[in-house]
Amino acid sequence: MKVGFIGLGIMGAPMAANLVKAGFEVGVYNRTPDKCESLVAAGAQAFDSPRAAAVGRDAVFTIVSDTPDVEAVLFNNNGVAAGASAGTVVIDMSTISPTQTVAFAKRLAQQSIAMLDAPVSGGESGAREGRLSIMVGGERAAFDRCLPLFHAMGKTIIYTGKSGNGQRTKLVNQIVGSLNLLATVEGLRVASAAGLDLATTLDAIGGGAAGSWMWSNLGPKIAAGDDRPGFSIHLHAKDLRLASEFLDDLNLEAPGTRLTSSLFRQAEDTGLGALGNQGLARLWREQQV
């Protein structure tokens, strides 16, 4: 299959690289062209617009920051919709609004272009190692056709149903992950205040019922003061804003989500947005200065 890939950030670049390694013919575009260089060296072809990256492609991936960015990449004058042909499948792997995802899919369907919403979980390491969890919504036939592409990037590929369900599932993922991250931050703060050895605490709790991906993967970074981003506070705050809007649509109370959303907004306001999401722990350190 010939594929286009648009958005070569922390997640997108290694995901596109895995498609190249799997033998697919990959055309790439990024707003900052120099991010294409390593992929071109690996065998990809670089293009100067989303439109050009979509011409003649069986599938086109997008993974960008937020809902307006996806809309621009798809529908502006040099967007994917202007270059893609009938029968192309657009696969958006960003985390964006489920409502807008459905609207985008309907617009593309007018050109006989299918759209799958396929957000991912697993962080930078999962993207690099091809171990992502991919949650896919949209037409089942399009999903089945694109399975070989998903298998090149992920380990857990789940079809979630109709258009928008991939995004809805991802927001549930972000709610659960955010609460686990807050628990990790708070647990390590308590352990530190109590004078416990943090490495020992991480081992003790990680092997029991309170263990989690956040505890095992981000806990050691928090303990070491390593704030380098695999997934930034800024993007995590955006995802929780989307989750809060989702709750509003459902008219559903979820106090844990509201709390974590407010804390990530506070971290952004404190100037921590560029840090990895484990840098949420810095919020309390900043308050103590």
Q: What range does the domain containing 177 cover? A: 168-288
Contact 30, 6 (CB under 8 A): yes
* Together in a domain, 63 and 156: yes
* Together in a domain, 95 and 200: no
In this structure, the number of other CB atoms found within 10 A of the CB of residue 279 comes to 25
3 pLDDT higher than 70: yes
253 pLDDT higher than 90: yes
- Residues 171-178 have a mean pLDDT of 98
289 pLDDT higher than 60: no
pLDDT in the model for residue 211: 97
pLDDT in the model for residue 286: 63
pLDDT tens-place string over residues 189-222: 999 999 999 999 999 999 999 999 999 999 999 9
Q: Give the whole-angstrom CA distance, residue 55 versus residue 80.
A: 8
Query: Is 170 one of the catalytic residues?
Result: yes
Question: What is the dihedral sign for C-alpha 115, 121, 125, 126?
Answer: negative
Phi, psi (degrees; rounded to nearest 5) at 112: 60, 35
Residues 6+ apart with CB under 8 A from 252: none
Domain boundary among 144, 162, 180: 162
Catalytically annotated residue among 35, 170, 221, 238 = 170
Domain boundary among 133, 162, 191: 162
Residues 6+ apart with CB under 8 A from 162: 137, 138
DSSP at 120: E
**pLDDT band per the 50, 70, 90 thresholds, residue 285:** confident
Q: Give the whole-angstrom CA distance, residue 251 versus residue 253.
A: 7
**pLDDT band per the 50, 70, 90 thresholds, residue 114:** very high
Task: Give the chain's mean pLDDT.
Answer: 97
> How many structural domains comprise the chain?
2
* Together in a domain, 158 and 174: no
pLDDT in the model for residue 287: 61
- The CATH number of whichever domain residue 247 belongs to comes to 1.10.1040.10
* Together in a domain, 142 and 173: no
- Residues 49-66 have a mean pLDDT of 98
- Residues 230-255 have a mean pLDDT of 97
Provide the residue type at 218 as one letter: L
- Residues 13-31 have a mean pLDDT of 98
**pLDDT band per the 50, 70, 90 thresholds, residue 288:** low
* Together in a domain, 11 and 141: yes
51 pLDDT higher than 60: yes
* Together in a domain, 47 and 17: yes
- From the list 160, 129, 144, 171, the residue with the least C-alpha distance to 59 is 144
Query: Which pTM does this prediction carry?
Result: 0.95
Residue 99, classed as helix, strand or coil, is helix
Domain boundary among 162, 197, 220: 162
Residues in the chain: 289
* Together in a domain, 258 and 138: no
Q: Give the whole-angstrom CA distance, residue 120 versus residue 172.
A: 12
